[in-house]
RNA sequence: GCAGCAGUAGCUCAGUUGGUUAGAGCACUAGUUUGUGGAACUAGGGGUCGGUGGUUCGAAUCCACCCUGCUGUACCA
């Protein structure tokens, strides 16, 4: 036995992959059903694309020059490279380019799907996770961008979040573009470092960000991050510009007006939102939870946003000659699940079966008859799946959190009166079969 | 990727300046109770002390490297 141990397959999971148990899955299902409801209400259509795409389709055509073909899981199939998708937006762009002539313009679709990222996992971040995306393709109207925010907030509230527990931050790429012009920043490396630094205001504050805009910053662990090397003067201009409370760009002014028409208030203008590097072209938004998120040990962790999105007017065009300005939003379901499960008042119902204990194997017919009666009433029930002493059967029922057990032995079968035991109180009652469904309903 | 911390039973951890056969609680198994779970008591199973190599008469303990995890940081389409 022990000798074999070395050759046994590993029970460990690959880095960043996790098993998910019922409790979590039920919360996820609950969120998904809310999403679907809202999506239908807002007039989006459902789409599914495959997990794999040609690597070209999801990598090469992205206008993000800073990113080489890394971070994806790939393999070579018949001389062509395939990759697991890393988001749902690139496949959407590919889908639209492929079906452009048939689809309605604009095209509104939503999609739920697993995506994979070959990178270091963090708290609440895995290498395989479920994403939800909703996009408008083929419209420049900012009505679309605004409606995405309204819609996402409806979903969150349907899931049980209060207005005070989340906020949608909005900004626009135009702001940083104008800022760069103002300080005459043309060097692409410096621009990238600046954008990344600005993205961290909420975490590091202006003190940290200013270090990153200048020479660099040392973090808690002593690790050093190189800065953008901007002049003090320019850093001050940036701080001043970005501290303006009101959005100055045309696109944001219009979105604010639309928000107002919708009577949508739960947003905040935040010019520090960057989201990705060269992907977005206009308004951008981010969905943030306002409360503290704790890990298993009770430590508060940096959770980041649970999703976001924005306008990407050039993505579809990369696949061909179709002009398809687009805007979309995506939510990481796992993070939302994680956050919801931490809410004290959030409970999801796990329905457990009533367990019928078996005494007389020869009377299986009677057991099944009783079982069927209960199940036909829409109540979850099972005959104890095994052959064990009553004690074992009770322990099993207790372990699975069954609401009740039914004891149905020789005498009970004869008299037609099973014994019903409420497992939370321990009280037992002898009940006629015709009455058993009603009695169970009182317990569950 | 970089940095800090950690890795002892299924889980949470103890293990003194290196020293016989590595411990506890919870969980598990069996019994006290042959038709009764959640409590108690009794007994039991379970560990190449993350891995490899080194120092030593002797390593869970010291050293090196690797792996894994946590936290921060970087990247994040």
Domain ranges of chain A: 22-185+230-342, 354-443
* Number of Cβ atoms within 10 Å of the Cβ of A159: 21
**Separation between the CA of A395 and the C1’ of B28 (whole angstroms):** 13
| Rounded-to-integer distance, Cα A208 and Cα A141, Å | 37
Beta carbons of A251 and A313 less than 8 angstroms apart: no
b or e along A314-346 (b: 16 or more beta carbons within 10 Å of the residue's beta carbon)? bbbbebeeeebbbbbbbbbbbbbbbbbeeeeee
Q: Torsion angle, CA of A337/A329/A103/A142, rounded to 10 degrees?
A: 150
Nucleotide nearest to A394 (CA to C1'): B37
Phi, then psi, of A390 in degrees rounded to 5: -55, -40
Structure tokens at A28: 């996820």
**Separation between the CA of A353 and the C1’ of B25 (whole angstroms):** 32
Verify cis geometry, omega within 30 degrees of 0, for the bond prior to A23.
Answer: no
- CATH 3.30.43.10 assigned to A354-443: no
Instruction: Name A339's Cβ contacts closer than 8 Å, sequence gap at least 6.
Output: A289, A291, A293, A303, A306
| Rounded-to-integer distance, Cα A263 and Cα A259, Å | 6
Residue A293 is predicted with a pLDDT of 65
Nucleotide nearest to A72 (CA to C1'): B77
From the Cβ of A59, is strand B under 7 Å away?
A: yes
b or e along A2-11 (b: 16 or more beta carbons within 10 Å of the residue's beta carbon)? eeeeeeeeee
Residue A19 is predicted with a pLDDT of 81
The alpha carbons of chain A give a radius of gyration, in whole angstroms, of 28
Q: Report which of residues 130-189 in chain A place their beta carbon less than 7 angstroms from any atom of strand B.
A: none
Q: Is A229 left (phi over 0), alpha (psi -120 to 50) or beta?
A: left
CA distances from A273 to A144, A176, A283, A301 (A): 19, 10, 10, 20
Strand residues in A228-294 grouped as ranges (E): 267-269, 283-289
The fold for domain A22-185+230-342 equals: BirA Bifunctional Protein; domain 2 (3.30.930)
Residue A22 is predicted with a pLDDT of 85
* Number of Cβ atoms within 10 Å of the Cβ of A286: 25
- DSSP run (H or E) holding A326: strand A326-332
Scan for tokens 């990481």, then name that residue.
Answer: A332
Phi, then psi, of A194 in degrees rounded to 5: -65, -50
* Nearest residue to A288 (alpha-carbon basis) of A352, A339, A328, A224: A339
Residue A337 is predicted with a pLDDT of 86
Residue A200 is predicted with a pLDDT of 87
| Rounded-to-integer distance, Cα A303 and Cα A404, Å | 40
Beta carbons of A209 and A197 less than 8 angstroms apart: yes
| Rounded-to-integer distance, Cα A88 and Cα A53, Å | 11
Low-confidence ranges of chain A (pLDDT < 70): 1-10, 59-70, 123-124, 277, 292-304
Q: Which nucleotides of B are covered by protein (CB under 7 A)?
A: 1-4, 28-30, 33-38, 47-48, 68-77
Residue A3 is predicted with a pLDDT of 34
What is the three-class DSSP state of A216? strand
* Nearest residue to A137 (alpha-carbon basis) of A321, A284, A316, A283: A316
From the Cβ of A302, is strand B under 7 Å away?
A: yes
| Rounded-to-integer distance, Cα A157 and Cα A93, Å | 29
Which residue gives the smallest C-alpha to C1' distance to B12?
A297
From the Cβ of A326, is strand B under 7 Å away?
A: no
**Separation between the CA of A399 and the C1’ of B8 (whole angstroms):** 29
Residue A429 is predicted with a pLDDT of 93
Beta carbons of A197 and A191 less than 8 angstroms apart: no
CA distances from A26 to A5, A259, A341, A397, A412 (A): 36, 33, 11, 21, 37
| Rounded-to-integer distance, Cα A80 and Cα A91, Å | 17
């Amino acid at each position: 036995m022990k000798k074999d141990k070395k050759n046994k397959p590993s029970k460990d999971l690959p880095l960043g992959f996790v098993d998910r148990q019922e409790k979590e899955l039920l919360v996820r299902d609950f969120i998904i059903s809310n999403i679907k409801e809202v999506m239908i209400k807002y007039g989006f259509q459902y789409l599914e694309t495959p997990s794999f795409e040609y690597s070209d389709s999801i990598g090469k055509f992205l206008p993000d020059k800073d990113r080489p073909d890394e971070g994806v899981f790939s393999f070579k199939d018949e001389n062509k490279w395939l990759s697991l998708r890393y988001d749902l937006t690139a496949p959407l762009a590919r889908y639209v380019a492929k079906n452009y002539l048939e689809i309605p313009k604009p095209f509104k679709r939503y999609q739920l799907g697993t995506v994979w990222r070959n990178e270091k996992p963090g708290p609440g971040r895995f290498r395989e996770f479920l994403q939800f995306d909703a996009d408008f393709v083929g419209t420049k109207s900012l009505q679309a961008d605004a409606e995405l925010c309204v819609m996402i907030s409806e979903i969150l509230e349907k899931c049980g979040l209060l207005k005070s527990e989340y906020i949608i931050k909005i900004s626009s790429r135009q702001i940083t573009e104008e800022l760069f012009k103002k300080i005459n920043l043309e060097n692409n490396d410096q621009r990238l470092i600046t954008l990344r630094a600005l993205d961290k205001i909420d975490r590091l504050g202006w003190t940290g960000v200013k270090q990153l805009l200048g020479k660099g910053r040392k973090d808690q662990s002593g690790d050093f991050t190189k800065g953008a090397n901007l002049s003090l003067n320019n850093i001050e201009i940036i701080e001043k510009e970005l501290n303006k409370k009101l959005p100055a760009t045309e696109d944001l002014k219009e979105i604010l007006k639309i928000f107002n028409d919708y009577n949508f208030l739960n947003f905040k203008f935040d010019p520090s939102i960057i989201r990705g590097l060269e992907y977005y072209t206009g308004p951008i938004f981010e969905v943030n939870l306002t409360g503290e998120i704790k890990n298993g040990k009770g430590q508060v962790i940096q959770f980041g946003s649970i999703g976001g999105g924005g306008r990407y007017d050039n993505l579809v065009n990369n696949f061909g000659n179709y002009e398809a300005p687009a805007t979309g939003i995506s939510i990481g379901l796992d993070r939302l699940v994680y956050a919801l499960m931490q809410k004290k008042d959030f409970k999801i119902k796990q329905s457990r079966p009533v367990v019928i204990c078996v005494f007389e194997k020869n009377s299986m017919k009677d057991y099944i008859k009783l079982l069927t009666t209960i199940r036909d009433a829409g109540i979850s029930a099972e005959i104890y799946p095994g052959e064990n002493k009553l004690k074992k059967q009770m322990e099993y029922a207790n372990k699975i959190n069954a609401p009740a057990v039914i004891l149905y032995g020789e005498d009970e079968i004869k008299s037609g009166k099973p014994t019903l035991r409420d497992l939370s109180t321990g009280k037992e009652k002898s009940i006629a079969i015709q009455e058993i469904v009603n009695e169970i309903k009182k317990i569950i």
